[in-house]
Every structure is written in C-alpha cells, then in structure tokens.
Amino acid sequence: MAKIDDVARLAKVSKGTVSNVFSQKRPTSNEVRERVMSVSRQLNYVPNHTARSLVTKKTMAIGLTIPHGSFFFSAFHTQFINGVILEAASYGYRVLLDIIPVHEVKTPFLTSYPIDGAVVMRPTANDERITLMHMGQIPFVTVGHVMNENIEHSTSVDNDNAQMMSNICAYLVGKGHRDIMFLNANEHMTVSIDRRASFVEAMKEHGLDVEEHMIHHKPELNSSEYMDYGYEETMDILGKQQKKVTAIIADDDRTAFSVLNAVKDLNLSVPGDVSIFVICGDNSMMVQSNPSLTSMDLQPSELGAQSVRLLMHQLGVLQGEYEENIIVEGKIIERNSVSTIGSDEDRE
C-alpha cells in the first residue's frame, strides 16, 4: 500500500499538504490538489484509517450494544439496527456490533474501545455496559431509560410506555373490553417494568382492577417455557381456569401467534371471542397473519435514527441545542384482531 510520503514525493509537495488535500481541513490550491489526486490515483493511495484515528482521536465508528446474555434479534431489534446504520452512515460513521461482556475480554486482547460513542439498547437495571461506558468516558445514548445508581445525567430515546399503555387500554376499553390480559416482556427488562405499572394505572383510570392472573411475563430465553409463552398462559387462564378474558395484549408477534393457536385449540375465535393487540412486531408478518393483527407501531427504525442523531450531538458532529430525552410516538395500527363487544346494548 502506498503511503502519504510516496504521494508527497511524487507530487513534489510536503506530506502536510497531501494530508490537507484529503482531509480538507485547510485550503489547497487547485493546481496542487489536482497533482496530488492524480498521483494518488496512480498509486492507488487512500489515507490509512488507523493512522488518522490515532491523531484525530476519532474512530468514526459507534458501538451498538445489543442486550447480551443470550443474544437474539426480534423484529424490533432488526428495524432498530436498520435505522441506526443508515443514519450513522449519513455522518460518515460505521457501526460496530458489540455484545462481548467487556469484563470477559482476556488480557492479550484487552484494549480501549475503538469507538467514539455508543448506542445501548434496552438497558437492564444497573446495566454493567452502562457503568463501563460511563467509566470509559464514552458518550452514549440509551434506548429506554437508564436505571443505574450514580448515573443521573443521561441522554436517551424511548417510546412513552406510559402513554402507549394508556392509549392501548383506552382503545380496548373504548371497544367494550374490561377483562384484558397482558402478556408482558421479560420481567428483567426496564420496558417491562414500566409497562406493567402503566398498564395497571391505565386500567385503574377506567375504574378497572387488574388481578394478578391477568399479567404474565415472558420466560427466560433458554428456559423450556420460552417457546410456548402465550400458548400456555392462554390455555391455562381462558381454558383450565375459565377466567373471563375478552382481550389479550401480547408483547410481540410471536407471542401473539402462540395465543392465536391456543385460542383456536380452545375452539374460540379471534376476534369473535377474544381480541388480540400486539405491542411490537414485524408488520409484514402481522399483515399476513389470519386474522391480521392490530398492533402498536413503536417505530423502531425512527428510534434508531434518533438515537444516532443524539449521539452525533454529543460528539459535536451536529451543532446546536437538542433535547436530551427524545420520545418517539407509538402509533396504533388497526387491523382485524380487535372487535367491539357489548355493542348490542349500545345499538339496540
């Protein structure tokens, strides 16, 4: 590979000038610029990324830390990542996927993080990734709020879980549902904690009490119950226990599909006997489902883009004032899995 000195020599200029031609940090004359570029083309020269980084102290990469433990992508992750990559690229930044629990890096590999900042997805309570970023002086943006002690000032992007749950409940109650079962995400996730509380509160505002058996949490990824989440709960509560449930809020599309199966096995129908509302799923799947599933669109891609924009502000790439905590709207997308009940009395 040709280096800057080779170009400088052949173009009869100093390496500082060659540097300026490429970095465009100081002006260069047309004459010189063309000579340098011409020589560079001949030699196939391109500035060395690492050398540049060493002195500028910028790696032009941001980390994207996905929740570790058992690593897994859902539709939400997928679209979120999509948003992050595209937005980052528009600022010349690359995205480094990051799942290694840092304390496990063995000595000969141990180095500083080659990133300028990070987007941390779905932090858990006292998330160590966040503690590490904080210690390592790496600017970061979280998706979902931080729940670490000793860290107060943090920028984040999130859906308004309280507002969303409130909207969902209002939507369902407005359609006559009073017995709503909530199949929540895993209980360790901060979103899950928020949503649970908001759900109970929203129901209370409609004068409805939520009994314990109406809220469930997704089992751990590697547990044996994981794959049947939604099915088992539905069979148990609606079948065996014969509790009254007219609507089910499912955390994601897969859970909803499980519920769909259980409902079918109970010889009930959706949305005739039971309505289903999905919080987060793959739109194309939910459209193709039968019946198609009414859902909340969390706009994960928009969340991703916004998180990068926030990070760029922190890195000084974007100038000006900015909100430290951005809320992205969740939008209800009506499809065919929720019916209106009790309308008989209303209309007749």
DSSP code for 124: B
For residue 20, state whether it binds DNA (rule: CB under 7 A): yes
Is residue 328 part of the contact set for its own copies (CB under 8 A)?
no
44 contributes a contact to DNA by CB under 7 A: no
Q: Which two tokens stand for residue 328?
A: 């992205």
Q: Strand pairing partners for 215?
A: 182
Of the candidate spans 18-26, 121-129, 146-154, 336-344, the one that interacts with DNA by CB under 7 A turns out to be: 18-26
Amino acid identity of residue 31, one-letter, is: E
Q: How many other β-carbons are positioned within 10 Å of the β-carbon of residue 137?
A: 8
Instruction: List the one residue out of 339, 177, 345 whose CA is nearest residue 269.
Output: 339
CA distance 93 to 61: 5
Give the binding range for DNA (CB under 7 A) out of 17-25, 194-202, 229-237, 288-296.
17-25
* 80 is an interface residue for its own copies by CB under 8 A: no
CB proximity list for 236: less than 8 A, separation 6 or greater:
none
Q: Which does 73 bind (CB under 5 to 8 A by kind): DNA, its own copies, none?
A: its own copies
Size of the site for DNA (CB under 7 A): 30
From DNA, its own copies, none, interface partner of 31 (C-beta below 5 to 8 A by class): DNA
Q: Choose the contact partner of 97 out of its own copies, DNA, none; CB within 5 to 8 A by kind.
A: its own copies
Using CB under 8 A as the binding rule, whether residue 125 contacts its own copies is answered as no
Question: Are the CB atoms for 301 and 97 separated by under 8 Å?
Answer: no
Per-residue binder mask for DNA (CB under 7 A), 48-77, x = binder:
x--xx-xxx---------------------
- DSSP character at residue 213: G
The answer to whether 264 contacts its own copies (rule: CB under 8 A) is: yes
Which of residues 9, 10, 26, 96 is near DNA by CB under 7 A?
26
Q: Tokens 């309308």 identify what position? A: 343
Task: Pick the stretch among 7-15, 86-94, 272-280, 312-320 that binds its own copies (CB under 8 A).
Answer: 86-94
138 binds its own copies (CB under 8 A): no
Closest CA to 140 of 153, 152, 155, 128: 155
206 and 216 Cβ atoms separated by less than 8 Å: no
Report the C-alpha gap between 8 and 11 in whole angstroms: 5
Residue of 20, 19, 72 lying closest to 48 (CA atoms): 19
- Paired tokens of 40: 């560079």
Query: Which residues have a Cβ under 8 Å from the Cβ of 167 and sit 6 or more positions away?
Result: 296, 330, 332
Q: How many Cβ atoms are within 10 Å of 270's Cβ, its own excluded?
A: 22
- Which CB sits closer to its own copies, 208 or 285? 285
Selected from 17, 184, 289, 337, the binder of DNA by CB under 7 A is 17
Among 9, 12, 26, 94, binds its own copies (CB under 8 A): 94
**Interacting residue ranges for its own copies, rule: CB under 8 A:** 1, 22-24, 44, 46-54, 59-61, 64, 71-73, 78, 81-82, 85-86, 89, 92, 94-100, 105-114, 135, 137, 227, 253-254, 257-258, 260-261, 264, 284-285, 287-290
Binding footprint of DNA on the chain (CB under 7 A): 1, 3-5, 12-20, 22-23, 25-29, 31-32, 45, 47-48, 51-52, 54-56
